[in-house]
Structure 1
Amino acid sequence: MKRIGIDVGGTNTDAVLIVDEKVVHFVKRPTTADVTSGILDALKALRAEPAAAVKVDAVVIGTTHFINAVVQRRHVQKIGAIRIGMPASASLPPFCDWPTDLASLVNGEIFMLEGGHDYDGRPFMPLDTAGLKEAARKIRDKGLRSVAVCSSFSPLDPSCETTAREILAEICPDVAVTLSHDLGRIGLLERENAALLNASLHDLAVTTVAAFRKAIADSGIDAPLFLTQNDGTVMQAEIATAFPVMSFASGATNSMRGAAHLSGLDDAMVVDVGGTTSDIGQLRHGFPREANAVVEVGGVRTLFRMPDLLSIGLGGGSHVDEDPVRVGPLSVGYRLTTDALVFGGSRLTSTDIAVAAGLIDIGDRSRVARLPKRLIDAALRDAWRKLEEDIDRMKTEAGDVPLLAVGGGAFLVPDRLPGISEIVRVPHGDCANAVGAAIAQVSGEADQVFRDLTREDAIAAARDIAADRAVQAGAARDSLKTVDVEDMPIAYLPGNALRVRVRVAGAIADPDLPAAA
């Protein structure tokens, strides 16, 4: 296995070459405003090393493009929103719980039609196909290029959504269609919100993936492109174009997967201290623990596959205020090498504090030699207090657990913390995010209700579905392993109903080898 992993952070873009699961070479370059230039710079620097000038099997990129677009209200597009479930959902139309500024940028037209299913999978109302055709014509005439379709209880029966896609493809074939059951779980508004966000990012996803491909080609690399996704696995670039929301939290999950790989620990707390933020999470069986509750993205409530993370405004580029002494949440970000005192700038940052305290040796130490010891100690105490409190918030057990400290700003993590059995610092920990991208696997998930089956048979059926989806996404079938299994009896449904969720993951399939049956 020879792979290049790239992770684009708010401050740095890291690139690493992994050969047979070992780090051969890595580079760190400042993230650029257009992001893709930073990727190209990192790739060129990586390939300049003779040991890294080898043919690679894949390039895997973790990007913040898509979540930044939502948070910053930039590069989102107007879309059509089709809700199938009338008259039951009339009082809560699409975008009803969105921040008004974001809704005004995305809401192109709303169509609410009869159809959908009930909680037991029975049809709620006959699907209004005539209304769907009229909606498709209006979408075409209005020039909307992306549509989100959400039907009530579509994870149980997606037929209304798939019919809507067929009608849209017939009347406006150039429109990109997002179906909510492909993204979310049971929970109408949150699943619909995920689909709406996804549809609003379609054009950005197309241009971003194309730019990534160009950067790879311009670097002289001939290899397939993958993007990392929220659960610590990868998806083919074509799938990423269709589902950009699946990359929202990929940066933090890359670091967690990289930390697990570099340390050999599959169960531990992880803190990834970057230049702008610190992401805190927990590893379970080598993968980030998933959030089982609603996750807000840019003020929008969603419920789909996302890691259970806590992000705080603490990083290597964090501003340090002197009266009162406070570290973060503002950061100089990718301007660290120009704005920080040790690099000739005028802004006091946490990196300056660390240099003055002797924790790291970068830049010109003489420029912080006159910082008062009182200020240095107070700033470090503030940073340590924040880490201690928030790591404890993310723990799910009372006993002491190991903590993996990674990221370019890991020097801010003290050697001892209450509730932590040991602080583990790993080689190449400052590029754990890129390592996590390079070693990432392909996953597949099944989440549905089974009836008239034993628990064992239902789980086996879900596992088969998840495995097929993983193989379809590019995994080698013989490498698949079960990562998560959840099952819950549904008392209000007949036929011994059981809701089962299974996730599997495996290595990227070798395109030169025949697929396993």
Structure 2
Amino acid sequence: MRLGIDVGRATTAAVLTGPAGRIAGRALADSAPTRAVSLRRVLAGLGRLPAPIGAVAVVCDLGRRPVAWRRVAVLRIAPGAHPALGPFVGWPDAARAAVAGPHLVVTGGSSLTGRPLATLDRRAVAGFARRAREAGITAFAVCAAGAPGAPGPELEAAQVIAENAPDAVLSLSYEIGSPGLRERENATVLNAALGGWADSLVRDTRHALRSAGIDAPVLFARDSGGLVSADYFRRHPVIATAPATPCAARGAAARTGARQAVVRDAGAGPVRCVTLVDGEPVRHERPHPGPLGVRVQLGAPEITEAPAGTEALGAVTDRLAERVPGAPVLTTGGGSGTPADGDTPEEAFDAARYAAGADCRAEIEHIVAAAGTAELDQLLAAARDHALSLVIAAGADPATTKLHTFAHAPVAYLPAGVHRVTARATGEPVTRAQR
């Protein structure tokens, strides 16, 4: 059996599923100011469990409670640039005040074609690591030009930092974000800053589950769909800061059978709206404001907010409906609380039900450069293997992993032989019996 829990803004929902996704139990509780209490309430509402739980999937947005952001030391490995393009430039003032630590730009990295640009200045990196450590900073973000296709400079810098700041917690950009340098750097910095939030969410969840007598692998929903293991989430929290509305939208699609729709997620606060195309929320195609309003490019769904019961909500709905003419408008979410008569609408369980049956997912976007067909084939095979290894690291049972999508195309503005590669791998979560 698998358990899905949606720690929502207004309510916390839990759905227990058995073979073939059959619902074996569910509960709904008013959300408390703290996650731990919300989790304990809904687990108590499930009552006695009919069978051991194989895996638990949790949906929880970053905005559920105040976040203790970590200050981050940022190392950029790239050709020199104007100070107006440096780390933290263009960030909202509040974001910079919460997160910004010391930063250093050293020459190096690789071009998009994989050509090394300069040898890493290890002495400069070592001095930077020591200064950050003396300032009491342990979170580091490392971002090198060309890293998604050539991560060597980041790995070398990480080794130097670890030698000079043994307590360092490192986020490397080649594991996070898109090929674009600035958005990838922003995402990596936010990832490092979110480490404390991820640790506390995992700790609260595991403690609540143990209190309820549940010993099972814990997974978390990611913004772009699917699940990742608790350990993967702790290393890459920036990919899972706003999964609630996308999960609820996918759950609404499964409940109604609608493949195209405009979905309104109603809860405490503004209504969140998304467009579904072929059962999936439409994603941002360009950089967009992420956590703290910082611009990132992580493939997250487009979410538009509007106050409930206003003309603005109708205008948002009409605009989104232009993408899917004739499609229905679906409502999902927990509303403003648990109905007094106990007649809870099905839409309150959409996100939890989706999470209970979701698979693990991992996605990559790389730039590769090949001199000929044989080399390109080797690089594409390596990209496939990388995607499959990532989804296993994200908690998938190796026996069930597969490539869900794989595509590559020449990059028009670069020399011949340079291709953009994208892949998504999926797999069923490892369960309690398989640990």
TM-score normalised over the length of structure 1: 0.76
Could you tell me which residue of structure 1 aligns to residue 7 of structure 2?
8
Could you tell me which residue of structure 2 aligns to residue 378 of structure 1?
none
- 1:490 maps onto 2:411 in alignment: yes
Could you tell me which residue of structure 1 aligns to residue 245 of structure 2?
252
The offset of 1:456, in angstroms, is 8.4
Q: Secondary structure at the match of 1:240?
A: helix
How big is each residue's C-alpha offset from its partner over 1:328-359, in whole Å with a ceiling of 9 and x where there is no partner?
Answer: xxxxxxxxxxxxxxxxxxxxxxxxxxxxxxxx
Letter matched to residue 54 of structure 1 = A
Could you tell me which residue of structure 2 aligns to residue 389 of structure 1?
315
Contact kept in structure 1, 2:10 and 2:336, CA below 8 Å? no
Could you tell me which residue of structure 1 aligns to residue 31 of structure 2?
31
Unaligned runs of 5+ in 1: 315-326, 328-381, 412-425
Q: Secondary structure at the match of 2:302?
A: coil
Contact kept in structure 1, 2:217 and 2:431, CA below 8 Å? no
1:137 alignment partner, one of 130, 133, 150: 130
The offset of 1:457, in angstroms, is 8.1
Q: Which whole-Å CA distance do the structure 1 matches of 2:319 and 2:406 have between them?
A: 25
Q: Which whole-Å CA distance do the structure 2 matches of 1:149 and 1:42 have between them?
A: 40
The offset of 1:269, in angstroms, is 3.5
Q: Give the root-mean-square deviation of aligned CA atoms.
A: 2.7
- 1:223 maps onto 2:223 in alignment: no
The offset of 1:132, in angstroms, is 0.7
The offset of 1:460, in angstroms, is 5.9
Letter matched to residue 303 of structure 2 = L
Letter matched to residue 44 of structure 2 = K
Letter matched to residue 295 of structure 2 = R
The offset of 1:285, in angstroms, is 4.5
Could you tell me which residue of structure 2 aligns to residue 98 of structure 1?
91
- 1:475 maps onto 2:401 in alignment: no
**Largest Rg, 1 or 2:** 1
1:181 alignment partner, one of 169, 174, 178: 174
The offset of 1:147, in angstroms, is 0.8
Task: Indicate how the Cα distance of structure 1 residues 294 and 67 shifts in structure 2: closer, same or farther if over 3 A, else same.
Answer: farther
Q: Which whole-Å CA distance do the structure 1 matches of 2:336 and 2:420 have between them?
A: 41
How big is each residue's C-alpha offset from its partner over 1:170-219, in whole Å with a ceiling of 9 and x where there is no partner?
Answer: 22222110111211112222111111111111122222211211111111
Q: How does 1:64-463 map to 2 (within 5 A)?
A: 64=61, 66-67=62-63, 74-88=67-81, 90-297=83-290, 298-314=292-308, 327=309, 382=310, 385-395=311-321, 397=323, 399-409=325-335, 428-450=346-368, 451=370, 452-453=372-373, 462-463=383-384
Q: Which whole-Å CA distance do the structure 2 matches of 1:16 and 1:512 have between them?
A: 20
Task: Indicate how the Cα distance of structure 1 residues 177 and 461 shifts in structure 2: closer, same or farther if over 3 A, else same.
Answer: closer
Task: Indicate how the Cα distance of structure 1 residues 241 and 120 shifts in structure 2: closer, same or farther if over 3 A, else same.
Answer: same
Could you tell me which residue of structure 2 aligns to residue 63 of structure 1?
60
Letter matched to residue 493 of structure 1 = L
Letter matched to residue 435 of structure 1 = R
How big is each residue's C-alpha offset from its partner over 1:445-493, in whole Å with a ceiling of 9 and x where there is no partner?
Answer: 2211233348988766544432222123222345445444453321343
Contact kept in structure 2, 1:288 and 1:307, CA below 8 Å? yes
How many residues are treated as equivalent by the alignment? 424
Letter matched to residue 7 of structure 1 = D
Q: Which whole-Å CA distance do the structure 1 matches of 2:149 and 2:112 have between them?
A: 8
TM-score normalised over the length of structure 2: 0.89
Unaligned runs of 5+ in 2: 338-343
How big is each residue's C-alpha offset from its partner over 1:241-263, in whole Å with a ceiling of 9 and x where there is no partner?
Answer: 11111111211122122223323
Q: Which whole-Å CA distance do the structure 1 matches of 2:143 and 2:382 have between them?
A: 26
Q: Which whole-Å CA distance do the structure 2 matches of 1:93 and 1:456 have between them?
A: 37
Q: Which whole-Å CA distance do the structure 2 matches of 1:484 and 1:444 have between them?
A: 11
Q: Which whole-Å CA distance do the structure 1 matches of 2:277 and 2:425 have between them?
A: 14
The offset of 1:507, in angstroms, is 1.6
The offset of 1:7, in angstroms, is 1.0
Q: Which whole-Å CA distance do the structure 1 matches of 2:141 and 2:377 have between them?
A: 35
Task: Indicate how the Cα distance of structure 1 residues 91 and 122 shifts in structure 2: closer, same or farther if over 3 A, else same.
Answer: farther
Q: Secondary structure at the match of 2:27?
A: strand
The offset of 1:89, in angstroms, is 5.3
The offset of 1:273, in angstroms, is 1.9
Q: Which whole-Å CA distance do the structure 1 matches of 2:82 and 2:399 have between them?
A: 44
Q: Which whole-Å CA distance do the structure 2 matches of 1:68 and 1:189 have between them?
A: 28
Q: How does 1:15-54 map to 2 (within 5 A)?
A: 15-20=14-19, 21-46=21-46, 48=47, 50=48, 52-54=49-51
Contact kept in structure 1, 2:76 and 2:104, CA below 8 Å? yes
The offset of 1:11, in angstroms, is 1.3
Q: Which whole-Å CA distance do the structure 1 matches of 2:278 and 2:398 have between them?
A: 20
